[in-house]
Amino acid sequence: MKITVKVWRQANSQAKGGFKTYQLDHVSTDMSFLEMFDVLNAQLIRKGEDPIAFDHDCREGICGMCSMVINGRPHGPLQTTTCQLHMRTFKDGDTITVEPWRANAFPVLKDLVVDRTAFDRIQQSGGYVSVNTGGVPDANEIPIPKKVADEAFDAATCIGCGACVAACKNASAMLFVGAKVSQYALLPQGKPERKERAERMVAQMDAEGFGACTNTRACEAECPKGIKITNIARLNREYLGAVFTSYEVETGGGGE
Amino acid sequence: MKWFIDLLTSSLGRKLLMALSGLFLIVFLAVHLAGNLQLLKHDGGESFNLYARFMTSNPLIKTVSYVNYFLILLHIFIAAFLTRKNKSARGPVGYEVTNKSSRWASRNMGILGTIVLIFLVIHMRDFWAQMHWGDQVQMISYDGTAQVKDLYAHVYMWFHKGWYVALYVVCMGFLAFHLLHGFTSAFQTLGLNHAKYNPVINFVGRAFAILVPAAFALIPLSIYLNS
């Protein structure tokens, strides 16, 4: 099939970018979207042009690297990652517009590659549990209801790809932060740091310059892992509960 | 105190203020509608005018109305602030192709709110300000009562103007869309998202968003059509 791609080209984070149009004449319907880009890049390299920079890693839908907005939707028309999107989704003769994630907190580094370390910093601010790693505990030593475990697991399937931010008209990161807060808040292992976690992650999210949630649910519609906005509601509960009740214990220290 | 300032300056804290002020204004709308429905009573305006006097003189009601004015202003200012912040969060370059994977009303609350605000200014200039300080409202006396302002006749004067009724009805349409998203959105922001109660919140939210503005619009329409 013949495909025309209109791609955002930008030399570096400071440069002014713009769209360039490329023609591909022999695209197989079995190709993934990224493989189509590989073919296009091989074509560009043969012509001595600079290949299009785009992020990719696992190509099996779990690393969350392949960030591109395809025809106005993060990861394209299907609710999946770009690597799992195949060219059969498009029609012969289609023109496809490909843009990088657009958010102040995700600056464009080159072409379609954005810097998503803002997510890492949010995660580092509280998305962990401090545990003493001793021996392996017995199975079912800590009873967790199946439904709660499932809910926590669903939240933990977030791959931090940033599609929620890209889809949101406010470039809000609340679905990501909601998922990360939820996966720990639901489980007993996450309880000790529960309140500080919510406060710190929200503070970091705001500091990174992400927008606020308007409950449009665009994030939920685009999330390749199907993370639900119930996680944003839980984030709101966790945060508001934490703000009003955290640090209720005065620690005096000892030995002075 | 720092924690409280942190709350009010955080994105979630500001959303909380939007939700709480919005829910208060929703309750206010219901009360306001109940009062307005007395305009349709064929008693020469007695019950409506006595109600209007009560609402402008009772100390408790007056206190609540000051809270109401404050929350309207708060809702507007935080909305303006959040909208600006949200716009800038997108960054200097927007999308060439934009996605439509969300409801129109949810993406345009700022525009809808601005239209409702413009309506509110017109509405308060013609009725609220006239009732309080204006000279257009005549006095009337009913059996056994002192003289009261005849707001009823003043409202009828306005609602006999076709263009004014049309403006009123159209603005109620915009209010309906604002409520359609706002009602359920407020609950989500407060963290009240629960499989057991979501159907109730969604149903009541939708019913409120349609019925209340429709009933508000019905009053000028019926006055105009019966004139």
Q: What is the tens place of the pLDDT at every residue in A99-152?
A: 999 999 999 999 999 999 999 999 999 999 988 778 888 888 889 999 999 999
Average pLDDT over residues B60-76: 96
- Residue type at B60? L
Give dist(CA A65, CA A113) in Å, integer: 9
Which residues does chain A have within 8 Å of residue B10's beta carbon, measured at their own beta carbons?
202-203, 206, 239
Q: What is the tens place of the pLDDT at every residue in B160-219?
A: 999 999 999 999 999 999 999 999 999 999 999 999 999 999 999 999 999 999 999 999
Task: Judge whether residue B227 has pLDDT over 90.
Answer: no
What is the predicted pLDDT for the residue at A132?
78
Tell me which CATH code domain A3-109 carries: 3.10.20.30
pLDDT confidence bin for B142, thresholds 50/70/90: confident
Average pLDDT over residues B79-100: 91
Tell me the shortest Cα–Cα distance from A136 to chain B, in angstroms: 35
Give me chain B's average pLDDT, please: 93
What is the predicted pLDDT for the residue at A253?
66
Nearest CA in chain A to B4: A243
Which residues does chain B have within 8 Å of residue A104's beta carbon, measured at their own beta carbons?
88-91
Does the distance separating the beta carbons of B99 and A73 come in below 8 Å? yes
Tell me the shortest Cα–Cα distance from A222 to chain B, in angstroms: 8
Task: Judge whether residue A252 has pLDDT over 80.
Answer: no
What is the predicted pLDDT for the residue at A80?
94
Task: Judge whether residue B104 has pLDDT over 70.
Answer: yes
What is the predicted pLDDT for the residue at A133?
78
Predicted-complex ipTM score: 0.90
Cβ contact A189:A131 at 8 Å: yes
Which residues are CB-contacts of B73 (< 8 A; sequence separation ≥ 6)?
A: none
Give dist(CA B161, CA B36) in Å, integer: 18
Average pLDDT over residues A170-177: 97
Please name the residue ranges forming H helices in A72-193.
117-126, 146-156, 163-167, 174-185
Does the distance separating the beta carbons of A72 and B98 come in below 8 Å? yes
Does domain A116-129+141-245 bear CATH number 1.10.1060.10? Answer: yes
Average pLDDT over residues B114-143: 91
Q: What is the tens place of the pLDDT at every residue in A194-231?
A: 999 999 999 999 999 999 999 999 999 999 999 999 99
> For chains A and B, what is the number of CB pairs under 8 angstroms?
138
Average pLDDT over residues B35-58: 91
What is the predicted pLDDT for the residue at A156?
96
Which residues are CB-contacts of B94 (< 8 A; sequence separation ≥ 6)?
A: A102
Share above pLDDT 70 across residues of chain B, in percent, rounded to a whole number: 100
Which residues does chain B have within 8 Å of residue A210's beta carbon, measured at their own beta carbons?
11, 89
Concatenated DSSP letters of A159-204: ----HHHHHSTT-B-HHHHHHHHHHHHTSGGGSTTHHHHHHHHHHH
Q: What is the tens place of the pLDDT at every residue in B196-205?
A: 999 999 999 9
Does the distance separating the beta carbons of A73 and B89 come in below 8 Å? no
CA angle A204, A210, A212 (to 5 degrees): 105
pLDDT confidence bin for B44, thresholds 50/70/90: confident
Give dist(CA B134, CA B126) in Å, integer: 9
Q: What is the tens place of the pLDDT at every residue in A31-90?
A: 999 999 999 999 999 999 999 999 999 999 999 999 999 999 999 999 999 999 999 999
Q: What is the tens place of the pLDDT at every residue in B143-156?
A: 776 788 999 999 99
* Annotated domain spans of chain A: 3-109, 116-129+141-245
Task: Judge whether residue B117 has pLDDT over 90.
Answer: yes
Which residues does chain A have within 8 Å of residue B90's beta carbon, measured at their own beta carbons?
102-104, 169-171, 211
Average pLDDT over residues A221-250: 91
**Whole-prediction pTM value?**
0.92
Q: What is the tens place of the pLDDT at every residue in A12-29?
A: 999 999 999 999 999 999
Asked if the domains at A3-109 and A116-129+141-245 fall in one CATH topology, the answer is: no
Share above pLDDT 90 across residues of chain A, in percent, rounded to a whole number: 89
User: Around A171, how many Cα atoms within 13 Å sit in the side-chain half-sphere?
Assistant: 28
What is the predicted pLDDT for the residue at B225?
93
Residue A8 DSSP class: E
* Annotated domain spans of chain B: 13-86+106-225
